[in-house]
Amino acid sequence: MALPRRLPTKFYQQDIVRRIQPESNSVTVHGIVMRCWHDAEDIAPPFNSDPLMRPLSPGEVGVSFYRDDTDNSNSFDRQILPERDLELVDRFFHRGDICRRSLDEVESGIVLRSRVNGRCEHVISKERIDGWTTLEQLSDRDYCEVGDLVAFDDWIGQVIELYDEVTVDSGGELVTLPELGSRIAVGDKGPDILPPASSSVHNLFGFLLRNTRPSSNDTCVAVLHSVYAINWLALSQALDPEQAQARKRPQQFWTAADMSHLILIRSLSDLQMRVGDRVTFKDENNLPSTSHGGLDGPQITVKTFSVTETETIVDVLWQNGTKETIRATELIPYVTPDEYDCWPGDHAIWNREGEKLAVIIQTFNATQRTASVLIPETGNIELASVLELDPHGTSDSLAMLQVPSDGLGVRRGDFVFIHPEGKTNGSPVHAPRVPKIGEVEAWVKDIPFIDGQLSGFRKEMDELGASIARRRGTENFNEPPILRPKLNDENFMWFGEVTDVTLDGEVEVTHPNGAIRKYTLQRLTKLYDGIDQLEDDMWDEASEVPADENGPWTEEGAGWDAAGSDYGDDWASHASDSLGGSLERSIPGDDSMPPLVPLPNLESATHSEVGTLQADAIPISNGIQHVPPHNGPNGNSDDPSLDDPDSDEDSGPWKRFDIQPSAPEDHAFYNSAPAQPSKPFLARLTREYRVLSSSLPESILVRAYEDRNDLLRSLIIGPEQTPYADAPFVIDWLLDSNFPHSPPLAHFHSWTNGNGRVNPNLYEEGKVCLSILGTWAGDKIESWHPARSSLLQALVSIQGLVLVKEPWFCEPAYEKLRGTEEGIVNSRLYSEKAFVLSRGFVRRALELPPGGLESEIRWLYRTEGRLDKVINDAEKLIEKSKIESEEGSSELRLSAGGIITLDRILAKLISLRSSG
């Protein structure tokens, strides 16, 4: 019996909602959801006067209401409310958006097309138009807004900023307000429309404002964009080199008659109505309007309407290949897609037993984690485990291309350049990749304000716009409408929007002139949107925090001397005591220091600042169950030689710390130039060695080198009862000349063969994302500090806070989803991947052991029988997974695709065991 469909239970950004009113109040108030408690906000918004900016509690949303019908004002239109006080009216989806039917379903779909109808009312009189308005009834705008694309002389540009002249009806008199930034729209009303009398703007344009004072009845009746600032991103790829050389970059500012030379290019999704949009109709007969001014001056008739409500119908392509037309409110946005998720028509690399094949997804079984794929070279369709698919192309050799790329293919809604027939974007046929181009000019990044005054290009733009406003009173200015592409104009076939991808690998592109054509990937280059680039740069700057960027810093009771400090004879002993068996953080031996604090409260291993060890994670002191302990009951070595890094005495095959004669050539930093060590560096290194030799957990090995005292190699064995149990994790370390004033550099040896990250904090290219390493922005107390941080702390942080039972929650802002349906489903899928990929780590370590750890790997997995345990545990999990699991369970189980991949790894491991 089929279970009934479960409707969405929470709201998302941009949802249209209706406040549930008491029965005595018949007024319907619509709003737009601006913030949700489950949004990925890594840093709480700063407090300010905006009521939406306080931190949200679970079940709360911030809503901007369209208007308050009770008093026709905007005084209380932004509120934070419980979800239970709201009901969903409509949900907006763009072409190419990913959606699901419910939170606990794993199958997702791609939106192919959306159709939006709206209810409209006059922006000033509030008189409503009966029935639903369709897109076909509306006229297309002939002006630009920020973010719009424009074309000129074979260039594609993007509007970055606007300068407006706003006409306001103030007590029956029309006055003009020049301003930068499009703050006001037609129909806006209130005392904040005009500036106060003391404003410099008012003084400057007194002749335009006629000394009018602000009033609550001031109403905007017209907005004119008088200046555009345009960033020219890229040139047509259809030009030959000589033609391209002749196309000089167009001007930065566009005014008056110049605007008529621009061609506005709008995306198909941008044409759809949204609540709050200002629209006009093709047929204005019998529609309400208002008149303003007149008498002794000009008169303005307002025929602008506002969209107050929408209903959206979407066409969805599901992963299984079926298509469906459905109301948007029956779907939810898929905001946390799995890195393996694919949809029919997507390109991917299939890592099949060491062979890399370019394939095209035909269908995708999200439950079984398998996909049917087309191999273009042979025409065969085969079944693949999704854990062996790389839809982003990170495992392909072309991933090292210098040309920026988003992966192997394109997505619906992307804007692309078309290369002429017979020419390509440079990628080979066997692994097509779509590069992206788009230059953000330097002026775009100008700081908006300096000392409270406009600066950079905005200051220049403001002066230009003010000059035009002054002259308008005496000169005849005429801003003609911007151009739109002409239908069937064959001169515009070098650019377009991706509207579909086909099962044979071709891409459907809709050109600005309305023509629809299909192209191979090799003929496409993607436009890298300038605003997207600015957002990407801001994200990178926020996440990449250079260590000790401002040099040495001091906090009360924990300072150090920049000239070279001895950290005290007690440094090593305190580090040992605090980190030996209890996983506590080391604090220098100073009476003024705060007491020892548990490490998890100070060091966040996750992007989202995980505050405590997960309750179900096994503490690292449990170590490796089958490894004979070398530590005494107090965490100190029973063998005195382990406390002396210079001792040559053999303490068995599993030495937690050892100094070897030379660094192995496969060390990630082997080819780096060694710095001349200073006396403080050597003194600190001796202390670090002493702590490592006495306090390492049984499941962590560290190797130092006589010929390279700036290098270390660590081997961490995954903790029990996690997806990483028994797997080897090798991390190489570099201590630069500024150590310990700056944190060590880490490189993780990812043996995933391009099949994705084994952990959110361990990147395939080797990055280890940790606050203490300066590779993630954490609180100051979580960052590296020379007097309270150590190599041992970094190591146990990785094992105790990164290699955890449910690693999906290490992703930014995902911790808040723990216990939710969405969190349970996504965490289970991620843990499956982590388990399967880390079994491959065992295979890789046995086939090609990391240098300097060969005997330890052989002893652990062969002599001590850990390989038998890995094989037996995997076989048991496969058998267990073939039994249907309880719905909603977070217990680790394998899908059919996971079993396919694990079976292949097991076959190799069994073969290695037999050959041992």
Distances (CA, A) of 397 to 376, 429, 432: 19, 13, 11
Give the dihedral of Cα atoms 441, 443, 447, 450; nearest 10 deg. 170
Burial class, 227, CB count within 10 angstroms (exposed 0-12 / middle 13-18 / buried 19+): buried
Catalytic site includes residue 769: yes
Distance of alpha carbon 877 from alpha carbon 867, whole angstroms:
15
**Residues 497/415, Cβ–Cβ less than 8 Å:** yes
Residues contacting 911, CB < 8 A, separation 6+: none
Residue 316 three-state SS:
strand
Q: In the structure, how many helices (H) and strands (E) does the chain have? A: 12, 37
Burial class, 144, CB count within 10 angstroms (exposed 0-12 / middle 13-18 / buried 19+): buried
Tokens of 55: 């931190």
Residues contacting 647, CB < 8 A, separation 6+: 640, 641
Distance of alpha carbon 333 from alpha carbon 337, whole angstroms:
10
Distance of alpha carbon 619 from alpha carbon 799, whole angstroms:
9
Element (H, E) at 659: strand 657-660
Phi and psi dihedrals of 231, rounded to 5? -95, 115
Distance of alpha carbon 58 from alpha carbon 819, whole angstroms:
12
Classify 14 in phi/psi space as left (phi over 0), alpha (psi -120 to 50) or beta: left
Distances (CA, A) of 76 to 69, 79, 80, 690: 11, 7, 11, 64
Q: What angle do CA 478, 480, 482 make, to 5 degrees?
A: 150
Distance of alpha carbon 771 from alpha carbon 676, whole angstroms:
27
Of 682, 677, 683, 685, whose CA–CA distance to 657 is shortest? 685
Distance from first CA to last CA of the chain, Å, rounded? Answer: 51
DSSP state of 681: H
**Residues 163/465, Cβ–Cβ less than 8 Å:** yes
Distance of alpha carbon 251 from alpha carbon 259, whole angstroms:
11
Element (H, E) at 679: helix 679-695
Burial class, 274, CB count within 10 angstroms (exposed 0-12 / middle 13-18 / buried 19+): middle
Q: Is omega for the bond preceding 645 within 30 degrees of 0, making it cis?
A: no
Q: Distance of alpha carbon 426 from its chain centroid, rounded?
A: 28
DSSP state of 862: I
Of 681, 730, 676, 724, whose CA–CA distance to 703 is shortest? 730
**Residues 137/283, Cβ–Cβ less than 8 Å:** yes
Catalytic residue among 144, 220, 342, 769: 769
Classify 888 in phi/psi space as left (phi over 0), alpha (psi -120 to 50) or beta: left
Give the side-chain half-sphere CA count within 13 A for 32: 15
Of 728, 752, 753, 725, whose CA–CA distance to 835 is shortest? 725
Report strand pairing: 109-122 vs 98-100: antiparallel
The residues assigned a catalytic role are 769
